[in-house]
Amino acid sequence: MQMRGWTAAVMAGLIIVAGSGCKKRAPKGGLAGMDNVGGVVGSDLYGEGLSDRFAAGQEMRGQFAPVYFDYDSSQIKDSERSKLDAVASHLQGAASGNLIVEGNCDERGSNEYNLALGERRALAVRAYLVGLGIDGARIQTKSLGEEQPVAMGHEEDSWSQNRRGEFVVVQ
Amino acid sequence: MKRWIWFLAVVGMGWGMRPAQAQVVVTKGAGQKTGLDMSAFRASPAPAAALFRKTLQDDLVRSGWFSITAAGRGEIVLNGECEESGGSLNAAVRVLHATTGQSYLGKKYPASAGEARRLAHRAADDIIQAVTGWRGMASGRLVLVGNRSRAKELYLCDADGANLVQLTQDRSISLAPRWSPDARTIVYTSYLKRFPDVYSIDVASGSRRIVANFPGLNTGGALSPASREMALVLSRQGNPEIYVKNMAGGQLTRLTTSPQAAEASPCWSPDGNRIVYVSDQPGTPQLYTISRSGGRPQRLTSRGLENVAPDWGANGWIAFASKVGGRYQICIMNPDTQEIRQLTADGADYEDPSWAPDGRHIACARTAGYRSAIYLVDTMGDPPLPLLNTSGDWFSPSWAP
């Protein structure tokens, strides 16, 4: 199961990269080769369609540290990968339970663009977790755009805290 | 006698739209105003009559075409009267040229006293149409997003900011409102069921139905000019892309394929053949257009760090917010010639433009000192004016068609 998820993600990545050669943006990170999992380097999403929304359940927030993003970017940074590894091993260890990944942006930029950017951040996190073998049907994405900042300031200190992916564990 | 013609001035500026030509008269040039002498218009001291007169005068000034002059100084004379009796209001309005005596308008406006404002807006639009050939905006209505209840809800107000009413009571986050072409419903994004879904709300009854609630993001709902299709931003296939939904059969067509980019803010061209939208394919959000049936997108903007929130006006020009020197400013672009004009330039951020029905003004959100209010921006050079600046923050205005 794990192998299949991983292989599928890498295959999908390779197919997309092969099919869109000239459109590809230069990766900003320094990763290469097998690290080209969805969400990490090229940020090619589309590995698979999203599964139907799962039923609401008891939600736990704050169990995992948020992952942070650069301005206008949905790329998973090197510094954030260990946080995602922790989320993945939790999900692997729990037979049941689902995850909502919430994508958030800082206050700059248009409201509607930030909704799309926040969704890409959540999808990048989802793609990374799927790449680690988590069943995509257990993960839902939810963009909050710039609507739910955690830091209320109007400078980079606050902005960098607001550009984040948060994890809600659903039992 | 000066008899410059509005549409000559306007076409000379490169505008695609011409006002109705029949009665087009009197003026000097874009940005200059025609003197209007209202001193002979008699309003009885009754409150409704006085309100009619004040509203009419404010509307005519706000239209941008007129300045109110002292008696005997105006090029155009507005006379007539307004009286209230037994709960009904009767206004008679006559508009003529001061020297030639040419008549532009003679009309009676009966209504109940409670409708003084609405009546004045109608009279103002009739006067503007008769004298300039341009459609007015005084009878227009807007939907806005406001946060004064702490949740973000939809509100409605008139073109002068009056009659502010709350439309939604979702106690959630309501975003991105856009009118249907028949002005009966508003399509918007809400977190009512915890995820961002697209709803349509009937303005008269307040009844609401869900339009799109796929897994992931559902937003950006915008009906085509013929209302047969709705453009949407959906991420159901794994990435936010522009889709078109057939409103009769419900079929979805994905227009964009950009696995490395986010798409947002679709808006239809006036003829319904193209859609302008935002994509960050180049690394920063920029404007693109694409045919309603898909195909190769065309990049529209390259100037400025970010170009977002497009609104394609009936006059053919696209209004958008452009990040210039660290601030968002309102610009308009002719997509055929690529000509761009920047309309704002002060120290505030101007975002989310929406063309007014007069084809001359643009409503937008202006943020200064971390407070947002709705402002009216003029494409012919008048300074921005507050349209709605009451307590709370106000965003995302959209004019009813």
Contact B235/A50, CB-based, under 8 Å?
Answer: yes
What token pair was written down for B333? 């672009």
pLDDT of residue A20: 37
pLDDT of residue B181: 97
> So where are chain A's domains?
2-170
Rounded distance between C-alpha atoms, residue A143 and residue A145, angstroms: 6
Rounded distance between C-alpha atoms, residue B257 and residue B259, angstroms: 6
| Number of C-beta neighbours around residue B139 at 10 A | 19
A109 chain-B contacts, CB cut-off 8 A: 285, 306, 308
pLDDT of residue A49: 85
Residue A47: band (very low, low, confident or very high) from pLDDT cuts 50, 70, 90: low
Q: Chain A closest CA to B236's CA: distance in Å?
A: 5
B262 chain-A contacts, CB cut-off 8 A: 74, 113, 116-117, 119-120
Of B213, B217, B351, the CB nearest to A116: B217
pLDDT of residue A45: 55
* Cα angle, residue A77 at apex, residues A71 and A80 outer, rounded to 5°: 115
A156 chain-B contacts, CB cut-off 8 A: none
Contact B262/A113, CB-based, under 8 Å?
Answer: yes
Residue A10 has pLDDT above 60, yes or no: no
What token pair was written down for B94? 């006559």
pLDDT of residue B13: 43
* In contact, B188 and B154? CB cutoff 8 Å: yes
Which residues, at least 6 apart from B397, have a Cβ–Cβ distance to it below 8 Å? B142, B143, B144, B352, B354, B363, B364, B365, B374, B387, B388
Q: Chain B closest CA to A90's CA: distance in Å?
A: 23
Coil, helix or strand at residue A16: helix
Positions of chain B with pLDDT under 70? 1-31
pLDDT in tens, B309-346: 999 999 999 999 999 989 999 999 999 999 999 999 99
Residue A82 has pLDDT above 60, yes or no: yes
Mean pLDDT of chain B: 92
Residue that has been written with the tokens 């409670």 in this structure: B114
pLDDT of residue A56: 86
Residue of chain A nearest B278, judged by CA positions: A113
For testing contact with chain B, the best of A20, A45, A108 (most B CBs within 10 A): A45
pLDDT in tens, B187-199: 999 999 999 999 9
Is the ipTM above a cut-off of 0.85? yes
Sign, CA torsion B91/B33/B136/B107: positive
Please name which of B123, B308, B347 lies closest in space to residue B220, comparing C-alpha atoms: B308
Fold of the CATH domain A2-170 = 60s Ribosomal Protein L30; Chain: A; (3.30.1330)
Taken in order of first residue, the domains within chain B and their CATH numbers are 6-132 (3.40.50.10070), 141-399 (2.120.10.30)
pLDDT in tens, B89-128: 999 999 999 999 999 999 999 889 899 999 999 999 999 9
- Could you tell me if A89 lies within 8 Å of chain B, comparing CB atoms? no
Q: Which of residues B85 and A3 earns the better pLDDT score?
A: B85
Which residues, at least 6 apart from B230, have a Cβ–Cβ distance to it below 8 Å? B187, B211, B221, B222, B223, B224, B244, B245, B247
pLDDT of residue A48: 67
For testing contact with chain A, the best of B170, B175, B191, B239 (most A CBs within 10 A): B239
Would you give the DSSP letter of residue A76?
Answer: P
pLDDT of residue B30: 57
Residue A6 has pLDDT above 60, yes or no: no
